Structure 1
Amino acid sequence: MDLNQILPQLESADEEETEKVLKQFNLENSHTFTFDQNEEALRIKLCQTVLSALGSPMQPSCQRTCLETLRILSRDKRVLTPVATREGMLTLGGMARLHPGQGGGDAQSEEEEKVVVEALKCLCNVVYNSPAAQQVSVDVQLAHGLCASLQTARTWHHEVGLFTLRLLFLLSALRSDLRGVLRREWHAGRLLTEVLEHTLDVRWVGSYEAARPDPQALPMPAEDNERAMEALKALFNLTLSDAGGEEGDHQFRLIAAILRHLLMLKTETEEKTEEAHSHAVNLLNNLPVSCLDVLIDVPVQGGLENYGGKNMDAIQVLLDFMERRIDKQGSNYKEGLTPVLSLLTEGSRHHREIRRYIKAQVLPPLTDVKIRPEIGTTIRNKLVRLMTHVDMGVKQTAAEFLFVLCKESVDNLLKYTGYGNAAGLLVARGLLGGGRGETQYSEDEDSDTEEYKSAKPFINLITGHVEEPMPNPMEEMTEEQKEYEAQKLVNMFDKLSRQNVIRPMGVRPDGTLAPLEETLCDPADDNSGSDSD
């Protein structure tokens, strides 16, 4: 429909005619709405006209049609000026029943509920596309109304809950100044935790222990999964900064317990399960590392004697998730893999049982040292390959993970990866000369196999495996030929050095690289000479 025809019709139309005209517009533009700059002024006027109509009393069906039109128009951020005002946001907030005292949990007809859903969808679009609308949302305390709505979560119909949570996520993502207010004044963190408990059907059997999901139970319904994902995303934003205090610690542990429960659940598809695990990993990274013991401290469900009686089911799920992310072809490792690597690294660094369990799965005792560490299909092989990845963040995160599993011992790391793969980490940490990191670890028993011990003297430290003996090219040379080749090599290095192509380097006492002349000892400072007779 031509906007030049629609606008005059709407100026004189009654409610029935308005609904008829806008329904036709919605039908034609719901899937193929284009952003024509020549019509920008007309669309702004249509937006204003529809918003004015919503301010007048009308039937829910006409309200819904007007809101659908606004939702379509709100995809274009250039026409949002009439909506991104105090009056516009109050109108939409009122229709979404987000103003205090509106009774969001009161019984509504099906048509009234559809109006609420359309208003929430409009608000999501407007807030996402308009910084001015974001500021107005803060001014009219739209987030307060959202938190009031969270209190009625048990009575939500699916779409009301879904878009309420999505709007809260958008506001908390786009307005960092709002997070503290949401957490402190309106207790949004606690409310979102309760939403997750209800949505995931958590049944507590201990302070921070949820009952094990029934293996015979049906997968989590898709609608419940959708709402849970939106709640997790909003909770992620609210936990980006530490709330602190005893109450904060309790809340964090409660979240960790719910996330453990989520990790053990299955959804209707593997893709949705993967998405749920991804959000759980992101949120776990925001929690204090001391709270990660909740993942393994589940006495009612039993544990493994080898790991202090701790239950490692959730850790195994995280390891499986990590390996799937590594194997995923064409995936963005920085976004998809580094969060779970970081989580497992910090968990291993601060919780001995977690480190011991992960090391047993990732770095089992070496038996075959004839193959290079980066070649093969084991999880160790895959992680060692990542140590030379082109993305610096991925490379460093993978190397740090393996380093922590080796208790930050350079010798242990080189045993599993080879010097060539580990060089980047060792340079960054100033450990080229060997030694350990700063973290203190308990002493475990020697885990070297007899096969490794017997092969150790023959392992190439650079490549990390036993190499077949190479023929000596100098064996059949005469002394004159050897001298000639040596002099040729010296001349090549001298030329490259004078042209600054290469620069001789040495290792300082602290393990860092430096120009060779800086690392050579001054003979006057050398006190290691023998005493005179």
Structure 2
Amino acid sequence: MERAGLYQLVNYENESMMPTEFPNNDIMVEALKCLYNLAFNSEVARALCVHTSIAHGLIARVRIYKDISSKEDIMLFDMKLLFILTALRQDITNKIKDELHGMDYLTSCINELLLEATPSPIVDASASICFIEGGPHCFLTDIQEGIICEVLKTQFNLILRPGLDEGDDSDETMYLKLMPVLNSLLAVKTSSEDKLMELRSNIANLLTAIPNCYYSILTPKLNPGENPPYVYDGLNMNAIQALLELLQYRLTKTTSATSHYENLSPILTVLNKSARGCRAHRKYLRGVVLPPLRDVSNPPEKGNTIRNQLCRLLTTPDMSVRSLVAEFLFILCKEKVGRLVKYTGFGNAAGHLAQKGLLGGRSGDRNDYSSSSDDSDTEEYREAQPNFDPVVGCTRPPRINPFEGMSEEQKEYEAMKLVNLFEKMVTHGVVKPARVGPDGRPQPVEHVLQLRDETPNRTQSS
């Protein structure tokens, strides 16, 4: 700790009195690497850290980063050490958050990095990577991006408290400071797409631990003269678009079913919370993910749009991801069964509807949604609707009647053959007959007369 320059910071309460010059930065960095390896590999070493002032020293140095020269490597390994300690020692986590006010200092640290990274308003053409339509944005170097990612991971550890409710009133000030900084981070540029998506992934991970009542801060009202590229209802939607781009990136890059949960669950959780917690977010997401249907000649799972890729995940073997995707689409459809079936096909949506007890056509809880309908059918969809098959979610050409030209005896013979084949499948346990019960979920049928007892009353909601 002494070689890492942490001991000399412990006894100073006033940051103006803390030393900002250190004898040898290289020695400090190597000492921090050793501390990190010890903390990562040894429970005994982590336990010893509880009884030292290492947490105090790390947070003290965070407070004076802006005054330290040649600090990037020191910051990176300070944050790596903070992350591993907060990930593996809950007592250190509690101390950093509650006693040392670590969340506030880490948020200020990100803000300082953003201020340092902001380019001059006058740049040449070679620096145009720093700009998108609507004005200049920060450009982060690789090491700045790496530092911020470690800070975000540490903040996730500080916010996430297993077994406790998601935030409380005492955390309100913390979230009100943090969310505008995350909004700024979602607008930065980096040296490559992979670095940018790594940064956004860490932002999404942190957002999963933040109550969705604060998500509206991500989409501030437009200022006079402001012209961002993504706007809805007078709100700047750049942050939500950045999260959608992360989803698209993850959907494209995730090819193995074994990595679906790790790669997709954080961003899907964030978009679920965003759509459910903020009406403007839901409407914007709906317009991008589920635009009005035009070409319905192909099944909804075929294609490369976000809707197509999400519909493919409705039948993935990973039940957690499947539920997140289905819930996201269901929220975008204002929890209307008929609308969900229209966009996904009943075959893709059946599992989710059965799980929620909505197979009978009853829609979900719509108390949180406006009564106005924003689902206007296109002319192309209305023309194709007579041939639209809701089971597969696309049109089917008119089919020839298989009984055409058969006598009544032949029809009866084919019908009995079908009955016998079905009975054989039931006997061997290949299929099990079911009906929709009073709770909207499938219930097994023990006798054919049960199917005749009551006629299903299925109302489709648009």
Structure 2-normalised TM-score?
Answer: 0.85
Match of 1:320 in 2: 245
> For this pair of structures, how many residues does the alignment match?
425
Q: Is the aligned partner of 1:465 residue 2:379? A: no
Match of 2:171 in 1: 248
The separation in 1 between residues aligned to 2:453 and 2:166, in whole angstroms, is 57
The separation in 1 between residues aligned to 2:166 and 2:412, in whole angstroms, is 71
Match of 1:455 in 2: 384
SS in 1 for 2:443: strand
Q: Is the aligned partner of 1:94 residue 2:2? A: yes
SS in 2 for 1:470: coil
SS in 1 for 2:208: helix
Displacement of 1:333 in angstroms is 2.6
Displacement of 1:268 in angstroms is 1.7
Q: Is the aligned partner of 1:284 residue 2:212? A: no
Q: Which has the higher contact order (CA 8 A, sep 6+)?
A: 2
The aligned amino acid for 1:263 is L
The partner residue of 2:99 within 185, 197, 204 is: 185
Match of 1:510 in 2: 439
The partner residue of 2:362 within 435, 445, 451 is: 435
Displacement of 1:220 in angstroms is 1.5
Q: Could you say if the C-alpha distance between residues 243 and 153 of structure 1 is closer, same or farther in structure 2, counting changes exceeding 3 Å?
A: farther
Q: Which moved more, 1:464-473 or 1:140-149?
A: 140-149
Q: Which moved more, 1:145-154 or 1:163-172?
A: 145-154
Displacement of 1:392 in angstroms is 1.7
Q: Deviations over 1:393-439 (max 9, x none)?
A: 22221111111100111111001011001011111111111222225
Q: Could you say if the C-alpha distance between residues 358 and 226 of structure 1 is closer, same or farther in structure 2, counting changes exceeding 3 Å?
A: same
Query: For the Cα contact (< 8 Å) 2:5–2:22, is it kept in 1?
Result: no
The aligned amino acid for 1:132 is V
Match of 1:170 in 2: 84
Displacement of 1:339 in angstroms is 1.2
SS in 2 for 1:371: coil
The aligned amino acid for 2:46 is Q
The partner residue of 2:57 within 136, 145, 152 is: 145
The partner residue of 1:496 within 425, 432, 442 is: 425
- Runs (5+) with no aligned partner, structure 2: 119-130, 456-462
Match of 1:294 in 2: 217
The separation in 2 between residues aligned to 1:363 and 1:217, in whole angstroms, is 29
The separation in 1 between residues aligned to 2:212 and 2:317, in whole angstroms, is 29
Displacement of 1:524 in angstroms is 11
Query: For the Cα contact (< 8 Å) 1:507–1:519, is it kept in 2?
Result: no
Match of 1:52 in 2: none
Match of 1:266 in 2: 189
Displacement of 1:523 in angstroms is 10
Q: Could you say if the C-alpha distance between residues 513 and 519 of structure 1 is closer, same or farther in structure 2, counting changes exceeding 3 Å?
A: farther
Q: Deviations over 1:36-63 (max 9, x none)?
A: xxxxxxxxxxxxxxxxxxxxxxxxxxxx
The separation in 2 between residues aligned to 1:245 and 1:491, in whole angstroms, is 62
The partner residue of 2:27 within 110, 115, 127 is: 115
Q: Could you say if the C-alpha distance between residues 467 and 277 of structure 1 is closer, same or farther in structure 2, counting changes exceeding 3 Å?
A: same
Query: For the Cα contact (< 8 Å) 2:50–2:91, is it kept in 1?
Result: no
SS in 2 for 1:375: coil
Match of 1:207 in 2: none
Q: Deviations over 1:260-299 (max 9, x none)?
A: 1111110122221111111111111211101110111243
The separation in 1 between residues aligned to 2:356 and 2:260, in whole angstroms, is 23
Q: Is the aligned partner of 1:351 residue 2:282? A: no
Query: For the Cα contact (< 8 Å) 2:265–2:321, is it kept in 1?
Result: yes
Q: Is the aligned partner of 1:221 residue 2:149? A: no
The separation in 2 between residues aligned to 1:437 and 1:420, in whole angstroms, is 18
Share of identical aligned residues, percent?
39
Q: Could you say if the C-alpha distance between residues 94 and 304 of structure 1 is closer, same or farther in structure 2, counting changes exceeding 3 Å?
A: closer
Query: For the Cα contact (< 8 Å) 2:114–2:138, is it kept in 1?
Result: no
Query: For the Cα contact (< 8 Å) 1:325–1:333, is it kept in 2?
Result: no
Match of 1:37 in 2: none
SS in 2 for 1:140: coil
Match of 1:125 in 2: 37
SS in 1 for 2:236: coil
Match of 1:405 in 2: 332
Match of 2:372 in 1: 444
Q: Which moved more, 1:298-307 or 1:231-240?
A: 298-307
The separation in 1 between residues aligned to 2:454 and 2:357, in whole angstroms, is 24
The partner residue of 2:348 within 421, 435, 446 is: 421
The separation in 1 between residues aligned to 2:416 and 2:444, in whole angstroms, is 24
Query: For the Cα contact (< 8 Å) 1:503–1:515, is it kept in 2?
Result: yes
Displacement of 1:155 in angstroms is 2.9
RMSD: 2.8
SS in 2 for 1:514: strand
The aligned amino acid for 2:377 is D
The separation in 2 between residues aligned to 1:444 and 1:512, in whole angstroms, is 29
Query: For the Cα contact (< 8 Å) 1:433–1:507, is it kept in 2?
Result: yes
Query: For the Cα contact (< 8 Å) 2:76–2:146, is it kept in 1?
Result: yes
Query: For the Cα contact (< 8 Å) 2:167–2:210, is it kept in 1?
Result: no
Q: Which moved more, 1:96-105 or 1:437-446?
A: 96-105
Query: For the Cα contact (< 8 Å) 2:295–2:380, is it kept in 1?
Result: yes
Q: Which moved more, 1:226-235 or 1:296-305?
A: 296-305
The aligned amino acid for 1:363 is L
- Runs (5+) with no aligned partner, structure 1: 1-92, 205-211, 527-533
Displacement of 1:245 in angstroms is 4.9
Match of 2:235 in 1: 310
